[in-house]
Structure formats: structure tokens, C-alpha cells
Structure 1
Amino acid sequence: MMFDVVVVGAGPVGLYMAALLLQNGHRVAVLERRATSGRQTRAIGIHPPALAALDAVGAAHPLVSSGVRITHGAAYSGGRKVADMDFARPSAEYPFILSVPQYLTTHALESRVIDLDPGALHRGVQVEEVVDDGGHLRLRGQQSGAPVEFLGRFVVAADGVHSAVREGLGLEPRLRTYPDYYVMGDFRDDSTYGDNAVLFLEPGGIVESFPLPDGIRRWVVRLGAPCQEPTPHALAALIEKRTGSAVDSASNTMISAFGVTSRMVSRMIHGRVALIGDAAHEISPIGGQGMNLGWLDAVALAPIISEALRTSAGGPATKELAGFERDRQRAAKKAIWQASLNMALGRPLPPKVLNARNAVIGRAITLPMFSELVARRFTMH
């Protein structure tokens, strides 16, 4: 089976990449190892630049219609408001951060891919190796226990943090670990915060809270040590202890605990194989940049591949791909730095030091220039 581009991974980034290429008239195969799509909420924040990108494939409107528009945020400490944040200012087209469960995002993009080519998505395919035979790339693996092979002129690996394609290329990304651990859960929203995002800057560590559709609110709590078996009851108790907010543990629909690492490959381009999204750069989930960063990788890469495919040689467009790699690695480093700053903001502090820092933040946020900078950072402008 010969294709212009084989995309490995049918998560939000891989599906988006496929939709861009299919819209440009290319023959695309999307290979996904999972037999069915999941129902995890996982990544929920879509920033304005990513919404503009999603609009290019017709996916922004259904997501905006089903999500929560977060236009404002607030920071509290000790029951007192420290600062207000206006997320609407940086973008006229999308003056909000959209909160929507990841499974709805994946569904919208998968539907768009199927609309463009009903046969593009191949599930249950485990890629085992990618071989460059000089004419095209051969992807070999298993599907339902039987050997399978796909041929492509280009391969785009969007198969996540544990990328099989990256491993097959023998790449070992640079790994950094952080002294930060979190537990998060989705509960019925009984708060008075409406559609606002809320940060609680407390001596024991930060608590973050974000609205989701259908009257759900996500809570993320920083811990001092790894949590092996998180429970809704324990998380609800911790939320109330730190913030005073009562959460009904019986209403929990998702709970997860995680530590934080970042990974970056030294190269995103290997001949006619490109790594994007988490396969190329894993970003701390604090700040919600990872999925958005992957989409912006695809926005930059798709026209380069399209132009190369239109030439008679169909070569790898070496100069353009080198520029893509340089620019996207710079963006990933910036995102890693921003995530590190977000995590540092949430670490425990002695009450006196915390109060002094919060006072500085409260005064600074009233300055238009600083307020604009904070809004742009939080919305990935």
C-alpha cells in the first residue's frame, strides 16, 4: 500500500497532521496501535493560536460549540484574592482558552479525517520498523497478529512520548526530571467560580482548578511526594484542606497522579522521517502546552511536505526542513521554560515568603504591560 505520507499515531496531533495533508490532496495513511479510541479527558486546554490552526481543517467550530470558554482567571491565597487574569486580551479572533475533554477533540479530528478519506485511518497497527530503501519508506509491523507493510514517501511520527518510530531510529531524547508531583481529578462543579480558571497559591503548594463542559471541574493539586494510588476521597480532602472548597468525592469521573519530566530529541528531522508533538518534545502538563505545541508543529511541517510532494523528485526539501526543525525546537525550549516557571510558582513556600511574593504579584498584575505579558504567556501567544 503506497501513500504520499504515513502518519504514525492517531492522537490529536497525528489526526490533525493527516487532515492538513488530506485537504491538500495527498494520499495519507494514519496508523494507530489502539483498536479503539479512548474516553479519557486528559489534555483539556486549547489556546487561541491552536484554535486558529484547528479552524484551518474545520475542527474549531464543533469544539468551541461543545467546550467552555475561559476568558478570565483568578489567583487566591489564604482565602484572599491575589490577582485577576484576563485571557481575552491577546486574541480578537479567539478571546478565550477553550476547555474541552481530549476525547471530544480527538473525535472531532477523527471525523474530519474520515470525511476527507474514509479509508485513511488504520487501527490496530503496531509499527515495528521504518526502513528507507532509497525510493520510499517501508513501515513494517503487525495488525491483528498478521504482518503488514505500508509504503510512504514521507513518514510523520506523532506516536507520543514512547514513540516506536523514534525508538526505531535509535534516538534517545534528553530527559529532565523535576521535583514536582501532582494528583488531579474531575468532579461535579459545586463551586462559585463559574467559567473562570482559579489558582490557589498556598504554603503547602499550588491547587489549580478549571471548568469543563457538563458541569464538571478539574482540580490539580501539587504534592510533596509521588502518589501511587490516588483516591477521590483523599483528593477531595486535600482540596478542602488547602482551599476551603468542598468537593463531592462521589461525583468523581477521573483521577490520576503523575510526576513531571521533559524530553527533547536533538533532531526532529531524519531524512524523510519527521517527529512532531510528544514524540519530539514532551512538555510538563502544567500549563497545558503539549498538545497545542504539537498542532503548531504540524502547521509548520505540512506545507513543506506538500511542496516537496508536488516536485517531480519528491525530495526531502532539506533547507526548509532544517528551518522547520530549528524553529520548532526553539518553540519547544520556550514552552519547557514556561512550564518550569509555572511549576516553580506552585512549589511550597514558608507563609511569610509566600505572602511577600503574592504581594509583588498582586501589585505587578495591575500594571498593563505586565498583565498583557502574563495573558500572552498563558495563552501561548
Structure 2
Amino acid sequence: MSITACDVLVVGAGPSGSLVASELHRLGVEVVVLEQRADASPGSRAIGVHPPVLAALEAGGATERILAEAVRIPRGIAVAAGRTVGEVRFDRRPSRFPFVASVPQAVTEAAVAAYGPLPVRGVRVVGVHPTPEGVHVHALDADGASRTWFARTLIVAAGASGRRLLSGLFTGRSRSYPDRYLMTDLSAAPGQPEGTAVITLGACGVAESFPLPGGRRRLVARIASDPEHPNAERAAGDGERLAEAIATRMLAPALAAHVAEASRFSIRRVLLDRMVFAGSVIAIGDAAHEVSPIGGQGMNLGLLDAATLAPVLAQARRGPHRDRQRRSAPDGDGSHRAALARWERGRLASARTAARLAAFNTSLGRPWPRRLASVSAAALDAALRTPLAGLPERAYAMGFDRAARGAADRLP
């Protein structure tokens, strides 16, 4: 059986995998990407690209490509008990990009992959075996034929399937939430404020409206879940349920009238205890940490994993000791091991912060007790009129991510 050798092998051609491969390729590192999907259709539907990510993607040209098709969201408002109780202004933050760029995930994937290597598609990885020299990766192609790669470094960016692949190497913690949501994208959104995300909170649970390019909107609403009668939920029709939620919670019947169908999703939190195994196997993106999409930081976490990992790996391949390193153990010399450990600590800390924020967002979006809804709305309104208002602006712009504290997000 023949073995294909490469310097870095990436499993997964989603946003994180495509970006790390593109950045490594741009920095002169040999990289191969394997992808199970036969085509480039996105595996999820994330839309928001946050300021630190836009800054991190600039060097490779992806930011320009994303912004060419994105709508910019400089502000968001929170509505409760029929009135606006808070405002988050990204354009008040000292950032190179004082907004969230809203764009379909397919555009983001294409932008970060534009100058990277073409993925080898239709390949399902079935085994990973680290050795002192590197990593053997066993896979099956679309015809069921067995294939093997050998790489000095393996990067797993394949989401939940990647975690299953690495179950013998990494440990972590997982939690499934009972919350259920409906979502749809509308081609027209009458009455919605331009460039503004609208979050409605209260006695019935959260309803959200996010701008999309071309005047379109994404709508999301939390729904009640009856675990004893799950089919009864679907019998009412997901589109009708979402339309009712938008009409009653957001007081927007004209907007609700445009809802014809909806898809549902649930949420979970997964945090691995580490992201690097033996210096040669690295997990990034949802393979390493999965957080609630409520708040829109999951894809961004993975993109920052990739953007910050690529220079660490590329540095190990540079300098006068490059040839010696190619013949040495896969984790390179002590300085590379230390740099990789610093990267891991920073990304794990950022993932934990994002997970806590996502958990808070999830709790805030649950139904408020009716007798306390007005009181809670007033308390939220009062809090957001104090200096505390700067905390949500920083949090929702990913300002607490470790990567946002470095040079990537400095003003020019």
C-alpha cells in the first residue's frame, strides 16, 4: 500500500481548516487538505464575522473578499416588554473594523480558501496513529478504497466527526442544552432597521433578527420543547411556529408574513481539555470547542484558532535549522514546543470565555417569568445606561478573545 507524505495534513475544509491551510500555504509550508464532503456546500450556516477575525484575515486578503459581499452591522438593540432597553454599539470600540460583517458562510469559506490548496474531496478519515516521527492517517475514498497519508503535523478541523476521530487521544467535557430554536432566512424584511441586529427578550423567549446582504434577514426564535411529544411540535409546522413567534414577540406581523419555512437546531457545549497531542496532532474549531451559536462566536473562535496557529507552525519550518527539523521529531525543538504550548493556552482560555458568554446568552434568551418580565427589562435598561454598557460591546465584538488583545486588532 502506497503512502503519501506531506509536511502538514489538514482534515476538514470548513472555515477553520480552509483558513489554516491557506495561511500555511501563504507562509511557504507544504499542506494537504482532506474533506469528506464531495462539494463545497457549507456544513453550517454561521453568518457573522467579528472584528478580531476581520483583522486577522487581512494579511491573506480574505477580509477584502468578505467585505465586498457583506453587510456591516455597527449596532444591535435589545427589546423587552415592547421597548428598547439596551443598545450595543460596535462602532464605539477602538477597532480597525467597528462592525460585525454579516455574510453567508459559503462566502466566508470561499474567501479564506481562495489562495490555499484545493482539498482532496470525498475522503473519509477513519484512523489516526501518531508515531515518534509524525502521524499516519488512514482514510477511505468515495469508492471505498483505502488510502494512507503520513504528515509531520496533523490538524483536525472536522467538527464533531473530528472529535470522534480523536477520541482516543483527547479528553473533554460535553453538555447538551434543552433549548430548541427555529431559523429562516428571508429575501425581504419590511420594517427592520437597516444595519441593526434586533434581539427581543421576555416572557416567551428570545426572537432575533439579523441583517443579511441584499436587504435580507435571518430570523431565529426559541421554541418550547415537549420531550414527551416531540412529533407534536413538528405537526404544527415549523414555519408557522416561527412566524407566530416573530409576530407576537417582535410585534412584527408584516415581517412574520414573509416566513414560509424554517429549520430547527439545538445547542451543546463541548470543550476539550487540550488542543495539542504530542506536538503532532492539533484540534481546532468545533473539533476542539463547540459553543452555542447564540451570540455568533463559534465560527469566529475556529477562525482565530487557524489564524494564530499558522504562524506558529510556519516559524518552526523557517530559519537555519529547517533541514535539521525536518529530520527530527514532529514537535521540533524546544522553542517550537513552547510556542505551541503558549498558543494552546491562549486558545483554550478564549474558548472557555466564549463558552461562558454563550451560556449567559442562552439563559438570557429563555422565557422570563411573566410577573418579573417588566422588572427584568427595567433592570437591564438601567444597567446598560451605566459604564457597564461597555462590557457587552466588548464581549459581543469578541474583545475578550486572547487574539484580540494582540497586534491583530490594533488601530493603524
TM range (shorter): over 0.9
User: Which string of whole-angstrom CA distances, capped at 9 and with x for unpartnered residues, describes residues 185-219 of structure 1?
Assistant: 11231223222000111211111110111221111
SS in 2 for 1:112: coil
Q: Partner residue of 2:121? A: 123
Q: Partner residue of 1:380? A: 398
Question: Given the superposition, is the C-alpha separation of residues 247 and 42 from structure 1 closer, same or farther in structure 2, using an over 3 Å criterion?
Answer: farther
Q: Partner residue of 1:303? A: 311
Question: Given the superposition, is the C-alpha separation of residues 233 and 39 from structure 1 closer, same or farther in structure 2, using an over 3 Å criterion?
Answer: farther
Q: Distance in 2 between matches of 1:296 and 1:177?
A: 24
Note if 1:153 corresponds to 2:152.
yes
> Which of 262, 269, 273 in structure 1 is aligned with 2:269?
262
SS in 2 for 1:66: coil
> Which of 26, 29, 33 in structure 2 is aligned with 1:23?
26
Question: Given the superposition, is the C-alpha separation of residues 122 and 285 from structure 1 closer, same or farther in structure 2, using an over 3 Å criterion?
Answer: same
Q: Partner residue of 1:240? A: 247
Q: Partner residue of 2:409? A: none
Q: Distance in 1 between matches of 2:155 and 2:198?
A: 37
Amino acid at match of 1:299: A
Question: Hey, which bits of structure 1, 4+ residues long, moved more than 4 A?
Answer: 247-254
How far did 1:306 drift?
Answer: 1.3
> Which of 281, 290, 303 in structure 2 is aligned with 1:282?
290
Q: Distance in 2 between matches of 1:76 and 1:60?
A: 31
Q: Is the contact between residue 183 and residue 218 of structure 2 (CA under 8 Å) also seen in structure 1? A: yes
Q: Distance in 2 between matches of 1:165 and 1:300?
A: 24
SS in 2 for 1:236: helix
The aligned length equals: 375
Q: Distance in 1 between matches of 2:285 and 2:71?
A: 24
Q: Distance in 1 between matches of 2:131 and 2:362?
A: 45
Q: Is the contact between residue 74 and residue 91 of structure 2 (CA under 8 Å) also seen in structure 1? A: yes
Q: Is the contact between residue 128 and residue 168 of structure 1 (CA under 8 Å) also seen in structure 2? A: no
Q: Partner residue of 1:193? A: 193
Q: Distance in 2 between matches of 1:181 and 1:212?
A: 23
Q: Partner residue of 1:330? A: 349
Report the more deviating stretch, 319-328 or 123-132: 319-328
Question: Given the superposition, is the C-alpha separation of residues 40 and 140 from structure 1 closer, same or farther in structure 2, using an over 3 Å criterion?
Answer: closer
> Which of 75, 79, 85 in structure 1 is aligned with 2:78?
75
Q: Partner residue of 1:139? A: 137
User: Which string of whole-angstrom CA distances, capped at 9 and with x for unpartnered residues, describes residues 210-264 of structure 1?
Assistant: 0111221111111221676453232112211222112567855873212221001
SS in 2 for 1:205: coil
Amino acid at match of 2:388: F
Note if 1:9 corresponds to 2:9.
no
TM-score normalised by L of structure 1: 0.92
Q: Distance in 2 between matches of 1:266 and 1:241?
A: 42
Q: Is the contact between residue 181 and residue 225 of structure 1 (CA under 8 Å) also seen in structure 2? A: yes
Q: Is the contact between residue 135 and residue 150 of structure 2 (CA under 8 Å) also seen in structure 1? A: yes
Question: Given the superposition, is the C-alpha separation of residues 140 and 250 from structure 1 closer, same or farther in structure 2, using an over 3 Å criterion?
Answer: farther
Amino acid at match of 1:156: I
Question: Given the superposition, is the C-alpha separation of residues 134 and 192 from structure 1 closer, same or farther in structure 2, using an over 3 Å criterion?
Answer: closer
How far did 1:94 drift?
Answer: 0.4
How far did 1:168 drift?
Answer: 5.5
Report the more deviating stretch, 339-348 or 314-323: 314-323
Question: Given the superposition, is the C-alpha separation of residues 165 and 223 from structure 1 closer, same or farther in structure 2, using an over 3 Å criterion?
Answer: closer
SS in 1 for 2:55: helix
Identity over aligned pairs, percent: 37
Report the more deviating stretch, 249-258 or 310-319: 249-258
TM-score normalised by L of structure 2: 0.86
How far did 1:363 drift?
Answer: 1.7
Q: Partner residue of 1:370? A: 388
Amino acid at match of 2:192: T
Q: Is the contact between residue 4 and residue 309 of structure 1 (CA under 8 Å) also seen in structure 2? A: no
Provide structure 1 residue ranges, at least 5 long, that are not aligned to the other structure: none
How far did 1:164 drift?
Answer: 5.8
Amino acid at match of 1:214: G
Q: Is the contact between residue 88 and residue 96 of structure 1 (CA under 8 Å) also seen in structure 2? A: yes
Q: Distance in 2 between matches of 1:165 and 1:78?
A: 44
Q: Is the contact between residue 129 and residue 168 of structure 1 (CA under 8 Å) also seen in structure 2? A: no
Q: Distance in 2 between matches of 1:254 and 1:280?
A: 32
Note if 1:294 corresponds to 2:294.
no
Amino acid at match of 2:140: Q
Q: Is the contact between residue 274 and residue 344 of structure 2 (CA under 8 Å) also seen in structure 1? A: yes
Q: Distance in 1 between matches of 2:158 and 2:101?
A: 24
SS in 2 for 1:181: strand
Q: Partner residue of 2:105? A: 102
Amino acid at match of 1:80: R
Q: Distance in 2 between matches of 1:17 and 1:264?
A: 20
In the TM superposition, what are the counterparts of 1:316-327 in structure 2 within 5 Å? 316=331, 317-327=336-346
Question: Given the superposition, is the C-alpha separation of residues 47 and 244 from structure 1 closer, same or farther in structure 2, using an over 3 Å criterion?
Answer: same
